Amino acid sequence: PNMYGNEARLFRGKGYWLPEYLFTSGNVTKLEQFVCTEDDVLVASFPKSGSTWVQEVVYLLKNNLDEKKARKQNMEDRFPQLEYTIPGLAALEAEKGPRLLKTHLPYEMLPQNVQTEGKTKVIYIMRNPKDVCVSSYFYSRMHLFLNYQSDLAHYCSSFLSGRVNFGPWWDHMKSYWEHRYDPNILVITYEDMLQDPSKTIQSIASFLGKDLSTKQVARIAKYCSFDEMKKNPASNYSWWDKLGIRLPEEAEFLRSGKVGEWIEHLSNEQSAYIDKLCQMYLTPAGIEPQFEM
Ligand code: A3P
């Protein structure tokens, strides 16, 4: 087995570490040439920042809050990942819009026309890097393609050096943050969403031009709550078990769903080092991650 599959399978592209199991360098150009329409919606994030929650909210908003329809297909089929090999760019190109697409690409690697025309709506989710580090450690152990077999200390040092999927996280966050005032970009945080789901749902809805009643917002909040999504087979990634992608003895995809859970896992030293990186890279840009609730 691959002792550190994650590290071995990364390649460099536009200043980021990119996972070969998702794409090859040839695909970076193909992704840039992919054309998005005004009706497409992209949900973008650094991995493990809460994109699944936002995808479910966006799916409901774009489908008249049809929960029955949402339960019929798994999230990856309803809301595919742009850079993933399944279904792949050719299939996505052929799809009649409006397309709902997830992506972990940094802003600079988004399809060129999203960047130059600024018409495709992009929702970017930020989450504090300590919880992201812990969440992605458990995820990397659980995911058979990543096949991570070392411990948190080792994972954390890779995370801090930026050498993890789509890293460094600080460049990723800055790449979208710089565009937070663009009319087609909405930046939200995982922490805000957990603290006040209704408020975040409202801001996503108004960004997508949807008017919601208080009752409708409450319905979406309930349907997309951690507990509901964890038991919903169309959102909880249990289909991975059937595909043999998840190692059953490791954590589930919807694992803990908290703000500040890193306290139970990171050492004082690791935590202090992340604070230092934040001061160096994020504070000057005006980004203040929220580490506790
Ligand atoms: P944890 O590992 O900390 O639990 P992504 O969807 O971008 O891959 O991020 C996954 C993280 O978001 C996981 O964090 C997961 O549990 C959490 N998450 C997924 N759905 C959620 C929901 N409905 N509410 C809160 N957290 C959720």
Coil/strand/helix, residue 19: strand
User: How many A from CA of 52 to the centre of ligand 1?
Assistant: 7
Tell me the C-alpha distance between 210 and 212, whole Å: 6
Known catalytic residues are 104
Within 8 A by CB and 6+ apart from 126, the residues are 45, 46, 49, 173, 176, 177, 187, 188, 189, 190, 287, 289
Q: Which residue type, as a one-letter code, is found at position 207? A: F
Tell me the C-alpha distance between 62 and 41, whole Å: 9
User: Which residues pair with residue 16 across a beta bridge?
Assistant: 13
Do the Cβ atoms of 23 and 85 come closer than 8 Å? yes
DSSP-derived letter for residue 251 is -
Do the Cβ atoms of 291 and 134 come closer than 8 Å? no
For the chain, the domains span 12-127+170-250
What does pTM read for this prediction?
Answer: 0.96
Q: Whose CA is nearest to atom 26 of ligand 1?
A: 257
User: How many A from CA of 105 to the centre of ligand 1?
Assistant: 18
Report the alpha-carbon angle 10-16-20, nearest 5: 25
- Ligand 1 within 6 A of 45 CB? yes
- Ligand 1 within 6 A of 256 CB? yes
Nearest to 83 by CA among 103, 57, 112: 103
Q: For a ligand 1 pocket test, name from 52, 173, 196 the mutation site with the most ligand atoms within 8 angstroms of its C-beta.
A: 52
- Ligand 1 within 6 A of 224 CB? yes
Q: Concatenated DSSP letters for 117-178?
A: H--SEEEEEE--HHHHHHHHHHHHHHBTTT-B-S-HHHHHHHHHHT-STT--HHHHHHHHHT
Tell me the C-alpha distance between 105 and 82, whole Å: 9
Report which secondary-structure segment, H or E, holds 189: strand 185-189
Nearest to 103 by CA among 148, 156, 165, 15: 165
- Ligand 1 within 6 A of 130 CB? no
User: How many A from CA of 275 to the centre of ligand 1?
Assistant: 22
Nearest to 124 by CA among 71, 67, 78, 193: 193
Q: Give the pLDDT confidence score for residue 7 in this predicted structure.
A: 52
Q: Give the pLDDT confidence score for residue 4 in this predicted structure.
A: 44
Question: Is residue 33 scored above 60 in pLDDT?
Answer: yes
Q: Give the pLDDT confidence score for residue 268 in this predicted structure.
A: 98
Examine residue 87 and say whether the peptide bond preceding it is cis (omega within 30 degrees of 0): yes
- Ligand 1 within 6 A of 226 CB? yes
Helices (H) and strands (E) in the chain, counts: 16, 6
Question: Is residue 3 scored above 60 in pLDDT?
Answer: no
- Ligand 1 within 6 A of 48 CB? yes
φ, ψ at 218 (rounded to 5°): -65, -35
Where is pLDDT greater, at 285 or 147? Answer: 285
Question: Is 12-127+170-250 a domain of CATH 3.40.50.300?
Answer: yes
User: How many A from CA of 256 to the centre of ligand 1?
Assistant: 7
- Residue listed under structure tokens 């990186």: 277
Q: Give the pLDDT confidence score for residue 10 in this predicted structure.
A: 86
Q: Whose CA is nearest to atom 8 of ligand 1?
A: 48
Q: pLDDT tens-digit profile of 103-131?
A: 999 999 999 999 999 999 999 999 999 99
pLDDT-wise least confident of 19-33, 118-132, 221-235, 252-266: 19-33
Mean pLDDT of 192-221: 98
User: How many A from CA of 230 to the centre of ligand 1?
Assistant: 9
Tell me the C-alpha distance between 185 and 183, whole Å: 6
How many alpha carbons lie under 13 Å from residue 182 in its C-beta half-sphere?
A: 22
Nearest to 282 by CA among 210, 174, 209, 182: 174
125 alpha-carbon distance from chain centroid: 7
